[in-house]
Structure 1
Amino acid sequence: MPTYIYEAIDASGATVTGTLNAADERAALTAVRELGLHPMSARPGAERAAGDGVDTDRKRRGRKVGLADLTLFTRQLANLVRGGLPMMATLDALVENTENARLHAVLADVRDKVAGGQSVHEAMADHPREFSNLYLSLVEAGEASGDLAAVLERLAGFLEQDLERRAQIRAALAYPILLLSVGTLIVFALVTFLIPRFAVMFSDYGRALPFLTRVVLGVADFMGSYWWVVVLGLAALFGLFRLWHGTPQGRLAWDRSRLRWPVLGRLFERAATARLARTLGTLLRGGVNILDALAMLEGVVDNAYLAEGLRSIRAGVREGESLGRETRASGRFPGLLSQMMLVGEQTGDVEGALSTVADAFDVEVSNSLKGLVALLEPSIILVMGSVVGVVIYAILIPIFQMNQVAG
């Protein structure tokens, strides 16, 4: 069995670390509890970084609380609460063991306010940059239901899935971006350094240069003399786009058009729907009211066109209409979503139906992204290779002709 490194709190409130063998992370956490400790985290031994072993005086770093920081904190909070550690002791332990400087300050403030009599969600609400409305609503629902541990477990799982999905997208796009960057640098070097040298040599050619050569030399001369015009023009276009996109009408038109792009439009729609379904399912399972949950989704989908559809759905649900029928009537979401909602309403398990939809669309998005990247990589190589080939060919034509004349 693999070895896991655990970090836990003992009966005196001190932080302890150690190693044990377990089948998976859940089994490792269970084994730590059997030792009479309150586990904070358990990770495979291969992930242990140099300098592990908790040092409460270690240097804190980071000025921003990223998704990875929030996810780790939420998982540790869920583990400690589920282990039965009192909330003040839990917050003390998390403050001491948080490396991100900004999150450390936020948690210290939350701890002090909880000690002063506020609830956890009330203390967190004073830090909207770190804790979203979705996060706060789930914590509030968990406190109200008396089952905060279970709600935190679901919230941690939701954040971990979101973090994993983003990591997959970054990993998939890393190589195409590298190819595009290298290709752009090569073309820039050819236009900036190589072609101008041949232009000097061709000035004594004594005859009209081939058309392709004149075009390449003209482009290089223009870029060399007026590159700043190109940069300013692109900056102006980008600025105008940002101004237009900043208006409600512009944002709505742009987000609607994105969903209609060839190939990418379906990918955007499926990704947004998967996130919407998983978020709504998490909120409902956590005890959040359906109307409040729908209101929160408007900021989650990050698409004004879909958010407008959610507002109409919420209005219908407020009047007593079916969630599934209102979703279908909006005409802005895939049919599978409304169909599964209707099934969930009939069986009394809307949360499970939404989870099924989210899993299905996550798989579709992952497979589509892999296929797109597999197509994108050779396309970038082909385009960049063609550009470089045309430039080199345009330079070699007059050189061959000069050699023939000299011969």
Structure 2
Amino acid sequence: MMYRYRGITEAAEPVTGVIEAQADTDALQKLQDRRIDVTELKAIKPKSVSLSRKKPGSTDYYNLLEQLAVLVNSGIPVLEAIESLRKTSRNFTLTEQLDRIGKELRQGVRLSQAMMDSMPNLPPMVPALVALGEQTGNLDDVLSSIGKQLGKQEKMKSELRNAFTYPIFLSVVGVGAVLFLFLFVVPRFSAMIGDDLSALPFIAQAVFHISAFLTERWPVALMILFLVVFGIAAIWSSKQARSSVIGMIHYVPVIGPILRQSELANWTRTVGLAFSARANLITAVTLAENTVTSDTNRAAFGDVARDLRAGMALDDALEKVPGIEPVVVNLVSTGVRAGRLGEMLMVATRILDERVEAGSNRLSRLAEPIAILIISALVGMVVIGLVMAMTSLYEFSL
């Protein structure tokens, strides 16, 4: 059972936290062993909840790491903290993963290795940074920093997704409206026009031909749609193909700069975290390569690590990266000279995050009218085609 406590340390400083114990007396004894004079102790009643079988996502993992950091910082041993999180987890898969981590910890395996073995979907940098925290005795601070930075990274991803959500919704509704016109409205006019469309204007002919194809050969249309969706899913499921597609999107106007800045922010964030966790610079830069999704950019940042091994300064190595933001190079140069590289990297990350957020907002404002314009053009084409067809029919009757 978990207990929330308040107390006073030997240094007469107030302290609060949570502790796991079998009973009230056990909790009091554990706190006395820590030289804490307890002033308040309350049992935290567990809530009866059903476990979700949804695959854990980035949000689940960064919430887990933040909670683990709080527990470890409160003085709770890592194994007890993992057991506590397992009992309160609402995700079935995450509960199983925490259970496996607990078993490995009892066998003497390090937390970083247990995470690597039991949480395959965890970003690769997390176990590596946890290992650095274990080596330096700074595990609670490292866990807290990882949780916060993963939260910021997830926020950036969410803002990028939100930038496209409403335009995609408009596009789906618009496509549905256009299909409705082709399937139910245009065929009514086809009966009036007849089979001979040669005398109609080109736009009118195109509208009636598309309508005839969708109504008479709908199995073929469905097969084409299925192949397109299946092809996109197959490409996205392949890591190499997905990386190539993302690399091409990086060169698309408006969208490309936002994605490049987002990747650069992830890179500076990871290097800053690793460097602050007392990793050497080459190790920090090597860890950060895993956060870059584009093959081209990953190769460029891989060259940075090789240049560092050759004795080149970090700011000089970054200048060779294509499309690198000058503000990052300037801040890194300042950090190297002032001996505050970790701090300057986090400043660069904050600036890049702000630029990504501003770019996402601009993209959202730009994408909405573009989606409306495209759908309006499609609907307008159908309407104009019908009007031109009816006008031609009226001329023929005269």
* TM score, norm. by length of structure 1: 0.80
Identity of aligned residues (%): 23
1:67 aligns with 2:58: yes
SS in 2 for 1:392: helix
Match of 2:360 in 1: 369
Paired letter, 1:379: I
Does the 8 Å CA contact 1:209/1:398 hold for their aligned counterparts? yes
Shift of 1:129: 1.2
CA distance in 1, matches of 2:198, 2:297: 62
How many pairs does the alignment contain?
Answer: 370
| Counterpart among 136, 146, 156 of residue 147 in structure 2 | 156
Q: Unaligned 5+ residue runs, structure 1? A: 1-6, 16-32, 41-52
| 1:9 is aligned to 2:18 | yes
1:271 corresponding residue in structure 2 = 262
Whether the 8 Å CA contact 1:120–1:139 is kept in 2: the answer is yes
How far did residue 287 of structure 1 move?
A: 2.5
Q: For structure 1, which segment, 183-192 or 258-267, has the greater mean C-alpha deviation from structure 2 after superposition?
A: 258-267
Pick from 338, 346, 349: which aligns with 2:340? 349
- Does 1 or 2 have the higher relative contact order (CA < 8 Å, sep 6+)? 2
CA distance in 1, matches of 2:231, 2:55: 27
CA distance in 1, matches of 2:387, 2:230: 37
1:54 aligns with 2:46: yes
Q: Could you tell me which residue of structure 1 aligns to residue 330 of structure 2? A: 339
Tell me the secondary structure at the aligned position of residue 251 of structure 2. coil
Are 1:119 and 2:110 matched, yes or no?
yes
Distance in 1 (alpha carbons) for counterparts of 2:222 and 2:195? 32
Show the counterpart of 1:216. 207
Question: Kindly tell me: are residues 293 and 242 of structure 1, through their superposed partners in 2, closer, same or farther at Cα, counting changes over 3 Å?
Answer: farther
Q: Distance in 2 between matches of 1:296 and 1:39?
A: 41
- In the other structure, the counterpart of 2:192 is 201
> 2:28 maps to which residue?
none
**C-alpha displacement of 1:100:** 0.6
2:213 counterpart letter in structure 1: F
The aligned residue for residue 311 of structure 1 is: 302
Q: Give distance in 1, aligned partners of 2:279 and 2:384.
A: 66
In structure 2, do the counterparts of structure 1 residues 404 and 77 end up closer, same or farther at CA, with 3 Å as the change threshold? same
Whichever residue aligns with residue 21 of structure 2, its letter is S
Per the alignment, residue 91 of structure 1 pairs with 82
CA distance 1:71–1:338, shift in 2 (3 Å): same
Distance 1:39 1:66 in 2: 30
CA 68–243 in structure 1, closer or farther in 2 if over 3 Å, else same: closer
Residue 308 of structure 1 deviates from its aligned partner by: 0.5
1:374-389 counterparts in 2 under 5 A?
Answer: 374-389=365-380
Change beyond 3 A, Cα 1:285–1:14: farther
1:59 deviation in Å? 1.6
Cα distance between partner residues in 2 of 1:67 and 1:247: 18
- Give the drift of 1:215: 2.0
**Structure 1 Cα separation of the partners of residues 185 and 102 of structure 2:** 63
